[in-house]
Structure 1
Amino acid sequence: MDYDSDEENVMEEDYYSFLNIPKEASRDDINNAYRRLSRIYHPDKHVDLDLKAKAENMFNKVKKAYEVLSDPHTRAIYDSLGTKGLETEGWEIVQRTKTPAEIRAEYEQLAEEKAERRKKQATNPSGNITITVNATDIFNPYYDDYLEEEYENDIISNIPNIEVSSMQFSQSVDFPLTQKDTCTLSGQLQTQNGTGGGGINMSWRHIFSHKSWTELEMAAGSGPALSFKGFRTLTRRFFWNGGTILQFTPEGVRPGIMSTLAMQVDKHSVGYLTYQGGVRSAFTTQIIRDTEKNRYNFSIQVGLPHSFVLLQYTRKMLSQELKLRIAVKAGTFGGVLEYGAEKKISKHSNLSFSVICGVPSGVKLKIRLTRASQTYTFPIHLCEEIMPAPVFYATAVPLVLYIVVKKGFVEPFLRDEKNKKVEKQKQNNFNKLLERRKEALAAQELMNATYSRIRDDESNKKGLVIIKAIYGKIIKDPNQHGDNEVTNEVLDVTVPIQCLVKDSKLEIYVQNKSELPGFFDPAFGEEKMLHIIYNYHDQPHEITVTDSESLRLPKTAHRTNIT
């Protein structure tokens, strides 16, 4: 379960939304917004002592937003880190630097150093668990001929025999020593058909620069081993990595070597030439092209024990966070067709399945769950021959299970997590939410005079007159219009919306609308809408937009036939 820190849950001021200007606003846009709000909230505009006190509070907020955004240095800090950046550390940087570009560059450097410090504090654990299941008895049951008649009459014997044929476990942890030195400790265990083994590895990596590193690794398990690896960027387009290994066995020392030369062909394509020598030797040529929506992989390997050709294609469905894969592999071992999909099911979890049809391997189903740095893999051998039934079930069953698990477990879990997060945010911001509500009601009270003047002017010239505006969590019956919507947790914002009208036009930019003067968040953590009914040239209009949508009035598309 993932929780944000209390610091990340605290609400911050959005000066752009408060002034109703875009983030790329010019100095003139900022000045105009400041003058417009000053005419409403300046204390000298109000005689009543109570209103004057409320106006002074709002005017100070207007002045603060103006001071931050009108100065290029403070605006650069605010754009980079928000209001937290305007504290002591930010002002120290302003004193040391001269331009907004320098401020942003230094903040980026500080962010990298902070990330590096956090990385040092973590052990970066990662692990893999692979459980291989033999389920061939489902589709290829085995009977001895002389017992076949007895099996036919034995119900228990007709139950398919499904067994775990092998298991593999691996785990590793990192121990950062310095900014350039890291020690890694890892271990592996495996068992297959009643026999097993394991090993332990310890490595030390030293980074010379962003262009090169070396790594020394010692292993113990199936005899001790010592390896040396390295990486080097040769030019802008070429880089190399390789290494050598010495494995000590009762039969003697077994040397091995691996070397890869890579070339950046273009922006999206990389080519690899790899040689692996030792007990098993192979030469591989590989080209990978990776774009925003597609990934291609073409490989040719010549060597022992196998030679093969591989062609793989992946389609990335970015909007659905889904990847579809298909691969064809043929060589001295036979041929394989593999297809499958990978779906992001939560912020830190991916679920994938693939169907593998091969000769002579048969039909296999592989399910993999990746949760943060942990990977769980379940290869299931369904049939030793390619038959329609196992192929169909291997394809259909994972899809049905995914839908059932998603609807029955994942979505309810995510809803609960979201509700817990929202509740935690409400608790952390309880006082601030009350303060924002009080501030919004005070702002609307201060707007009354401006509201009456603008509304009368627009009515006299048959301009833009706001009849009703509500903001918050709105549930509306699509068959109803006007006042017939069902509303819950909403705020009447007719007054502040009318005050944004100028020369029979109104524009709200794409920011959080709860930051606008006279607004607050009436449904914290929920999806919010802004619903407006207005007249233009004495014709009724109506529009509903989401919290993040920009808005421009009037528009012919908003016109209704209700009188």
Structure 2
Amino acid sequence: MDLDSDEENVNEEDFYSFLNVPKEATKDEINNAYRRLSRVYHPDKHLDPALKAKAEIMFNKTKKAYEVLSDPHQRAIYDSLGKKGLETEGWEIVQRTKTPAEIRAEYEQLAEERAERRKKQATNPSGNVTIAINATDLFNPYENDLFEDEYDSGLLSKFPNIEVSSMQFTQGVDFPLTQKDTCTLSGQLQTQNGTGGGGVNLSWRHLFSHKGWAEVEMTAGSGPAISLKGFRTLTRRFFWNGGTILQFTPEGLRPGIMSTLAMQIDKHSIGYVSYHGGVRSMFSTQIVRDTEKNRYNFSIQVGVPHSYVQLQYTRKWLSREMKLRLAVKLGTFGGVVEYGAEKKVSKHSNLSFSVVCGVPAGVKLKIRLTRANQVYSFPIHLCEEIMPSPVFYATIAPMLLYIVVKKGIVEPFLKEEKSKKLEKQKQNNFNKLLEKRREAMAAQELMQASYSRIKSEEEKKKGLIIVKAIYGRINPDSAQDTETSNDIIDVTIPIQCLVKDSKLVIYENSKSDLPGFFDPVLGEDKVLQVIYNYHDQPYEVTIKDKETLRLPKTAHRTNGT
């Protein structure tokens, strides 16, 4: 469930679920499902005026689902954008395209563009906050109480001295001018040991095509500067970006140049060659291999002020939304080993920490929280030398902090937010839910004749007989009565009507869209429980809402009397 949405999409009917066919259903399967439901809901099958009126509603729904899924163009639009796509912008693309494959491809591109636009609108402005903390007094190996000044022997002198050594703030806002032109205004402030500075940047980027763009940027602050940047795709495997900068300082004009040439080595690997020239010049080579589960990064840099060799490895666990990182860096400055982890804590937020052990850097703990395009970093300098105690605490403390924050703050907050949004969804869609309930009851009433016929046929041959079927939020620890509970509904009749030749298959769509069903607990987890007899033997099964159900199965056999 998407908690970022204020409304549950109760209006969006699932035609596949209504016809009880899989997403990849063939035309014959769709035709057979249409004929099966038409035999139940066709108005000519009912003489009673009240039933005939209900049948007309259900038959029109059946006909609409069949018309969409049996037409390749409409089906392609429906698969991409749902029912709303058929009503509005979908037909604009049909007029310009020829095949369903082209429709799907164009809709995928449009969906990606819309998602990107929504992301930019939701995450602006972008920013970065870095607060460096000096906590070396916590693990000072040379601290000796014998040499304490007699005037500093008070209680406050017993506490370690922890201070903020530097801060840096960066903030930027994008202003789209046209589809190809974007203006960006950003600023940065930094301070270290009581001194600092800042600047304001104004840039304009023009997109020539998907192959290239150019950007001009003006900077005011620590000396005005102007820079030109660009990107260009050269071939299918090569692309380039670079630029030049001119900075005006009291010492004179300082030019600089940047250039990177990249090559797509294979499907998962890219190589980079970069050069930065100016007051500080450097040349670097980098190879990045990124697969579904692993990421490798090897780089070499030669230049001023430092030269180094670096190897990074990242292990990904997509199911747990977590990454583990290890990096080794050796150069003219010394050596560094860094290890850490990153965990997705919500839809838009990632929390990461890493421990850095190096010579002569000592031991540092880095904590970073990423919320959409906002980044908050807290590098904490623990010790100027490598010692076991700061390494141990830097490794264990973030884990304990994460568990405490997650269990004590994040999970209760998300649970409360989910509860509020579910309640709001129910209130917003109260009338729709009542309508769907009435529609489900009407469908079951229209199924009575088919239900009695199919059940009688199955009883004669001791086939598949549905004894009881309920759908909704089922509490296994307590007895529930479908007549009084608002969390479940009795679906014995529609389930029996799906039986054919002593077999039943319900595909992996939400069961709430099946004829005779509705969602009794909007937005919450639901299950379907079926008690049935087959060859006079008792069976029982409980499945999740979007799980495929196939009856009968030996695994469902119970030890009933």
Identify the TM-score tier after normalising by the shorter chain: over 0.9
Q: Which moved more, 1:378-387 or 1:276-285?
A: 276-285
Percentage identity across paired residues of the two chains: 78
Letter in 1 for 2:560: I
Asked if residue 559 in structure 1 is aligned to residue 560 in structure 2, the reply is no
Deviation at 1:94, TM superposition (A): 4.3
Q: Secondary structure at the match of 2:240?
A: strand
* Match in the other structure for 1:257: 257
1:469 aligned onto 2:469: yes
Structure 2 equivalent of residue 520 of structure 1: 518
Find the aligned partners of 2:273 and 2:110 in 1 and give their Cα distance: 39
SS in 2 for 1:315: strand
* Larger mean Cα displacement after TM superposition, 86-95 or 185-194: 86-95
Could you tell me which of 516, 525, 529 is aligned with 1:531?
529
User: What's the CA shift for 1:113?
Assistant: 6.9
CA offsets 1:487-524 (integer angstroms, 9 cap, x no match): 87111111111110000000000101000011111111
The residue number in structure 1 matching 2:547 is 549
1:399-448 residue CA offsets vs partner (Å, 9 max, x unmatched): 00100100111111111222222223223322111111001111111111
Contact kept? 1:151, 1:157, Cα under 8 Å: no
Contact 1:9-1:425 at 8 Å conserved across structures: no
Mark the CA change 1:549 to 1:9 in structure 2 (over 3 Å): closer, same or farther: closer
SS at match of 1:25: coil
2:35 is the alignment partner of 1:18: no
User: Within 1, Cα distance between the matches of 2:339 and 2:120?
Assistant: 40
Aligned amino acid, residue 476 of structure 2: K
Q: Secondary structure at the match of 2:36?
A: helix
Query: Is the CA contact 1:353–1:365 (under 8 Å) kept in the aligned structure 2?
Result: yes
What displacement does 1:95 show? 5.3
| Counterpart residue type for residue 5 of structure 2 | D
Query: 2:457 — aligned with what?
Result: 457
Cα displacement (A) at 1:281: 1.4
Which residue is 2:501 aligned to? 503
What is the DSSP-based 3-state SS (H/G/I as helix, E as strand, rest coil) of the residue aligned with 1:161? coil
- The 2-side partners of 1:246 and 1:88 are apart by 51
User: In structure 1, how many angstroms separate the alpha carbons of the residues matched to 2:14 and 2:181?
Assistant: 41
Distance 2:560 2:494 in 1: 25
Query: 1:474 is paired with a residue of what secondary structure?
Result: coil
Contact persistence 1:469–1:493 (CA under 8 A): yes
1:533, distance to aligned residue in structure 2 (A): 1.0
- Per-residue deviation at 1:354? 0.5
User: Do the aligned partners of residues 2 and 527 (structure 1) sit closer, same or farther apart at CA in structure 2, a change above 3 Å counting?
Assistant: closer
Does the CA contact (< 8 Å) of 2:3 and 2:421 recur in 1? no
After superposition, residues 95-134 of structure 1 pair within 5 angstroms as 98-105=98-105, 107-108=107-108, 111=111, 124-134=124-134
Note closer, same or farther for the CA distance 1:297–1:435 as it changes in structure 2 (3 Å cut): same
SS of structure 1 residue aligned to 2:529:
strand
Tell me, yes or no, if structure 1 residue 490 matches structure 2 residue 488. yes
Q: Structure 1 stretch 398-407 or stretch 242-251: which is displaced more? A: 242-251
CA distance in 2: counterparts of 1:67 and 1:496, whole angstroms: 23
CA distance in 2, matches of 1:72, 1:538: 44
Structure-1 residue corresponding to 2:290: 290
The CA distance in 1 between the partners of 2:151 and 2:310, in whole Å, is 43
Q: Is the 8 A contact 1:123 1:174 kept in 2?
A: no
With normalisation by structure 2, the TM-score equals 0.94
Question: Aligned partners of 1:337 and 1:503: how far apart in 2?
Answer: 67
TM-aligned CA deviation for residue 77 of structure 1: 2.1
Who is 2:5 aligned against?
A: 4
* Structure 1 position 340 matched with structure 2 position 340: yes
Three-state SS of the structure 1 residue aligned to 2:473 is strand
Structure 2 residues without counterparts, runs of 5 or longer: none
Are the equivalent residues in 1 in contact too, given 2:6–2:425 (CA < 8 A)?
Answer: no
Q: Which residue identity lines up with residue 561 of structure 1 in the other structure?
A: N
Alpha carbons 1:10, 1:428 under 8 Å: kept: no
The equivalent of 2:248 in structure 1 is 248
Does the 8 Å CA contact 2:6/2:424 hold for their aligned counterparts? no
Paired AA for residue 125 in structure 2: P
TM-score, scaled to structure 1: 0.94
Distance 1:455 1:3, change over 3 A: same
Task: Tell me the SS of whatever aligns to 2:547.
Answer: coil
Q: Kindly provide the amino acid, as one letter, of the partner of residue 427 in structure 1.
A: Q
